[in-house]
Amino acid sequence: MSTAPILSCEKVTVAFDGFKAVNGMDLQLMPGELRFLIGPNGAGKTTMLDVICGKVKAASGTLRFMNEFDISRKKEYEIAELGIGRKFQAPSIFVGLTVYENLELAMSQNRSVWATLRATMSRDEHTRIMRQLDMIGLTHRANTVAGGLSHGEKQWLEIGMMLMQEPSLLLLDEPVAGMTDTETEKTGELLQEIIKERTVVVVEHDMDFVRSFATKVTVMHEGKLLKEGTMQEVQEDEVVSEVYLGH
């Protein structure tokens, strides 16, 4: 097993009109890790995901992916091609297509290729889609139009669509927000499956959800790394408690 980080962010700063939403942040992820990024509102967590996937650019600092590429100057689509997938809070699925078609489309990445692919789809590709449906628990929904799915099912479909592109690193922004307890639990099981093959960073406010994993947590505050460790270590930290007062 490789001991090199899959992602290494050093002294990353992102500024909006001079305001440093991320201010000298360090973040290192090992392959196969599930890392939660927590912190009070406005700490810079979402902006940190945005800079990793190239949606916003770093004013300074370096971001190395797979210990090889400096991705800090790359465009968003180039970063996606290198294997970093980003899921936003609102699902971006095609509501008029079926669940199966959404996954098919995600595999082909754009509509013109999709048309060709549909005519030539191999048994292997069909098998891949069926496996993906099984993993996200939507086999029974394959022919359902995506617009008719529940909130949780839409979130899983979008995660499935990201996985069809085989990213090495997934960035998820509050995946369980608005979910029922049962949906939250299923999402936890899905994350456990995903990290068997990939690395995942999750920005999360639901502390009960974070606590249900024995994994490392990174606390951000005012654009900086405040504390890193297990949830227990983080909770016992006085500075962290102070930052969270009132939350």
Question: Using the rule CB under 6 A, is 155 a contact of ligand ADP?
Answer: no
Give least dist CB 219 to ligand ADP, A: 11
Residue 68: partners with Cβ closer than 8 Å, 6 or more residues away: none
Specify burial of residue 169 (Cβ count, 10 A radius: 0-12, 13-18, 19+): buried
Q: In what order do the strands lie in the sheet with 84-87?
A: 84-87, 169-173, 199-203, 34-38, 216-221, 224-230
Query: How far is 205 from 184, CA to CA, in rounded Å?
Result: 13
Phi and psi angles of residue 192, each rounded to the nearest 5 degrees, phi first: -60, -35
Closest CA to 66 of 56, 76, 52, 55: 52
Query: How far is 166 from 109, CA to CA, in rounded Å?
Result: 12
Give least dist CB 46 to ligand ADP, A: 3
Q: Which stretch binds ligand ADP (CB under 6 A): 36-44, 70-78, 123-131, 148-156?
A: 36-44
Residue from 7, 9, 12, 21 touching ligand ADP (CB under 6 A): that is 21
For ligand ADP, the binding residues in 1-20 under the rule CB under 6 A are: 16
Residue from 42, 147, 148, 178 touching ligand ADP (CB under 6 A): that is 42
x-or-dash pattern for ligand ADP, window 45-84, by CB under 6 A? Answer: xxx-------------------------------------
Question: Using the rule CB under 6 A, is 44 a contact of ligand ADP?
Answer: yes
Q: Which stretch binds ligand ADP (CB under 6 A): 42-50, 58-66, 114-122, 236-244?
A: 42-50
Specify burial of residue 6 (Cβ count, 10 A radius: 0-12, 13-18, 19+): buried
Q: Which is nearer to ligand ADP, 46 or 155 (CB)?
A: 46
Question: Using the rule CB under 6 A, is 160 a contact of ligand ADP?
Answer: no
Residue from 12, 27, 29, 43 touching ligand ADP (CB under 6 A): that is 43
* Count of chain residues binding ligand ADP (CB under 6 A): 10
Query: Helix axis angle, 99-108 relative to 123-135, nearest 10°?
Result: 120
Q: Which is nearer to ligand ADP, 47 or 72 (CB)?
A: 47
Give least dist CB 87 to ligand ADP, A: 14
Interface residues with ligand ADP (CB under 6 A) are 16, 21, 39, 41-47
